[in-house]
Chain A
Amino acid sequence: MNELGVTVNGEPRRLMGPATLLDLLARLGLDPRTVVVELNREIVRRPRLGETTLADGDTIELVHFVGGG
């Protein structure tokens, strides 16, 4: 077990590792089917979320569709 410092949507977060992107979504209360995940500027496809492990210093963006013109 180790503590990780990551940035999620521009905000610093600390969490206990090892953790995958799927773990992160679960901790944030997000449904992987409604969120698109970018890790260090690369999109991580949904099937890979559970096998992508977070590292200290990672930058994660979680986006979804919102109303817009």
Chain B
Amino acid sequence: MTGTVAPDTLTDAPLTIGGRSFRSRLMVGTGKYRSNGEMVRAIEASGAEIVTVAVRRVDLDRTKEEGVLYHLSPDQYFLLANTAGCYTADEAIRYARLAREAGFNAFVKLEVIGDRETLLPDTEGLISAARTLVSEGFQVLAYTNDDLISALRLEDAGCAAVMPLASPIGSGLGLINPYGIRTIKRRLGTPVIVDAGVGTASDACVTMEQGVDGILMNTALAEAQDPVVMARAMGLAVEAGRLAYLAGRMPRREVAVPSSPSRGMLE
């Protein structure tokens, strides 16, 4: 997926996934905020259009409380349901079908987790679930690790996007394997969205500089001291990183090259 910048407007091409186009390359989650008000303000400040939601049992003791859709209108945001908390392909498939039945779209952020401590993906289960869901007409955005082969298999399975992690979910460790992410982006034709582990604005900027198509983050905003300000920072960082990538950076060197002329020095 290539991008071009119109020189007079400095605007990027839209992000296109599963036939839908979006202006913002920043996607955000809706979990862990201290309040719904803070969540709404942060998401607005981020400029994100795509927000993720989870699928859970209705709490039958609290049916009068407003759900997340009361605070984030499906008319204003593109709801991307996830299969968070699923540890088998069957579980994830079940959750994806339930999410689709809610009636907003057939997109799903597919998670099949392999380990509770690291929340790293179970690649075997993930690829199996992806194949099934793709065959049922889902647009599958697959949360995966930073391994090229897994990414290629997910692309082969027909995923609408591949979502390699920067570092473990909620870790805030930033981009720990830039080489792996760059390699995935170089080799895949499918959109690459980095999901998980981004902690602060520089992480987001560096990640976009690898050439990826977008970023999904949640904890970086929800656990910031001021989520609204951090959301604005992240929106800017994603734009800055994207523009820096499209601009084509200068080469790195191990020696110095002066920036001021060598000629014309005084005797």
Considering only residues 65-81 of chain B, those with a C-beta below 8 Å from chain A are: 67-69, 79, 81
Q: Which residues of B contact A41 (CB under 8 A)?
A: 94
Q: How far is the CB of A21 from chain B (nearest CB, A)?
A: 13
Fill in one digit per residue for A40-59: 1 if any B CB lies within 8 Å of its CB, else 0. Answer: 01010110000000000000
The answer for the CA separation of A23 and B97 in the assembled complex, in Å, is 23
User: Does B63 have its Cβ within 8 Å of any Cβ on chain A?
Assistant: yes
Please report whether the interface of chain B is mostly helix, strand, loop or mixed according to DSSP: mixed
Q: Which residues of A contact B82 (CB under 8 A)?
A: 68-69
User: Does A15 have its Cβ within 8 Å of any Cβ on chain B?
Assistant: no
Among candidates B29, B54, B64, B79, residue contacting A29 with C-beta atoms closer than 8 Å: B64
Q: Which residues of A contact B64 (CB under 8 A)?
A: 29
When A11-B60, A29-B63, A61-B57 are in contact, do A69 and B218 touch as well, CB less than 8 Å?
yes
Count of B interface residues, CB-CB < 8 Å: 36
Residue of B nearest to A30 (CB): B63
Residue of B nearest to A9 (CB): B57
A65 touches B102 (CB 8 A): yes
Considering only residues 25-39 of chain A, those with a C-beta below 8 Å from chain B are: 28-30, 34-36, 38
User: Does B41 have its Cβ within 8 Å of any Cβ on chain A?
Assistant: no
B98 touches A66 (CB 8 A): no
Q: Which residues of B contact A64 (CB under 8 A)?
A: 55-56, 58, 67, 102
Candidate in A8, A35, A41, A64 with the most chain B CB atoms within 10 angstroms: A64
The answer for the CA separation of A47 and B98 in the assembled complex, in Å, is 15
Among candidates A11, A61, A62, A68, residue contacting B52 with C-beta atoms closer than 8 Å: A68
